[in-house]
Amino acid sequence: MKTNRFFPEINAGMMPKHDRTAWLKGGNAQCLTPPRKPLGNAWHLILLGAPGVGKGTQAELLSERLACCHLSTGDIFRAAKSCIEKDQTPALQNALDYMKRGELVPDGTVLQLVAERPRCLRCSGGFLLDGFPRTIAQAEALEVLLKKENIRLTAVLDYELPLEKIIARISGRRVCPGCKAVFHVATRRPKIEGVCDQCGGELVQREDDRPEAVKVRMHAYEESTRPLIEFYQKQRLLIPVDADGSPEDVYRRTRLRALK
Ligand code: ADP
């Protein structure tokens, strides 16, 4: 099948969607449908931004259309949450408690999970890191991992949105625990209220989207993650992107502004 490097969106509908089994499960798990190998250089991107800014949605669009793998640390924890308890290591159970409260999981646990998945960083389709790094210590550890693999970052996209819009997005977000689809009570409504369009599951609010956890997440962002903006600015990798508007608006802006 012929693919188009310059307009990868054209390819998106032609290719089977790649899965992320190796990332979500770790260990020896392998992806059934790995991302296709791009004709030119693969993208190696980091997505930054406060919780609720829409990073996850952009990550989905970008990974589907640019064919790079969406590596989200939050998704590893959510996947672990749906495992039966005996399959969760004590470190993961501990991490899930932090997550429930909206606090950052300790760097050591997060770094161990990422370091256990070097194949995903090497993936020939490239990657898009979402939710990692989240602290300077994580960013420094990532530098070491990437150096070892001889991988250079293409860019760090920093999604920006005023706080009141972020709060509106988070408080209206509903997710399907079954197939992980994401909806919003005002801007991305399911066809039937409270029911997932894709699998018919009952939509719920994420535990860490409840107001008390959101406050903690925002504080953690300001304290630990915002300093990464300067960290990547100094490396001339940072590209700010206005995150206002529909997911398609923001996607187009990302492509025009950053990924030409
Ligand atoms: P958000 O919607 O806030 O961007 P994510 O889905 O990326 O959230 O992550 C959800 C939660 O998982 C975080 O609030 C945190 O508890 C935990 N988490 C995910 N990635 C990291 C990380 N790199 N460092 C520490 N904690 C993390």
pLDDT in tens, 128-173: 999 999 999 999 999 999 999 999 999 999 999 998 899 889 999 9
pLDDT at position 182 over 60: yes
Cα–Cα distance for residue pair 193/196, rounded to 1 Å: 8
Q: Is 209 in the pocket of ligand 1 (CB under 6 A)?
A: no
Judge contact between 173 and 188, C-beta under 8 A.
no
Q: Which of 177, 51, 73, 53 is nearest to 128 (CA)?
A: 73
> What ligand 1 atom has the least distance to the C-alpha of 138?
23
Which residues, 6+ apart, have CB-to-CB distance to 15 below 8 Å? 1, 3, 36, 67
Of all protein residues, the one whose alpha carbon is nearest to atom 9 of ligand 1 is 74
Question: Within the chain, how many helices (H) and strands (E) appear?
Answer: 12, 7
Judge contact between 5 and 39, C-beta under 8 A.
yes
Provide the pLDDT for residue 8. Answer: 53
Q: Enumerate the active-site residues.
A: 55, 134, 173, 206, 217
Provide the pLDDT for residue 91. Answer: 79
What's the pLDDT tens digit per position in 92-133? Answer: 888 899 998 989 999 999 999 999 999 999 988 899 999 999
Q: Is 217 in the pocket of ligand 1 (CB under 6 A)?
A: yes
- Strands 155-160 and 69-72, sheet pairing: unpaired
Cα–Cα distance for residue pair 43/154, rounded to 1 Å: 6
Q: Is 110 in the pocket of ligand 1 (CB under 6 A)?
A: yes
The CA 133 to ligand 1 mean position distance, Å, reads 10
Q: What is the mean pLDDT of residues 190-196?
A: 96
Q: What is the mean pLDDT of residues 176-183?
A: 87
Cα–Cα distance for residue pair 67/167, rounded to 1 Å: 30
Name 174's bridge partners: 183
Which residues, 6+ apart, have CB-to-CB distance to 83 below 8 Å? none
CB-count burial class (<10 Å; 0-12, 13-18, 19+) for 212:
exposed
**Run of H or E including 59:** helix 55-66
Cα–Cα distance for residue pair 159/121, rounded to 1 Å: 22
The CA 242 to ligand 1 mean position distance, Å, reads 21
The CA 134 to ligand 1 mean position distance, Å, reads 8
What's the pLDDT tens digit per position in 213-232? Answer: 898 999 999 999 999 999 99
pLDDT at position 5 over 70: no
**Run of H or E including 166:** helix 163-172
pLDDT at position 196 over 90: yes
Q: Which residues of 119-146 are buried (b: 16+ CB within 10 A; e: fewer)?
A: bbbebebbbbbbbbbbbeebbebbeeee
The CA 123 to ligand 1 mean position distance, Å, reads 22
Provide the pLDDT for residue 181. Answer: 87
In one-letter notation, the amino acid at residue 124 is: S
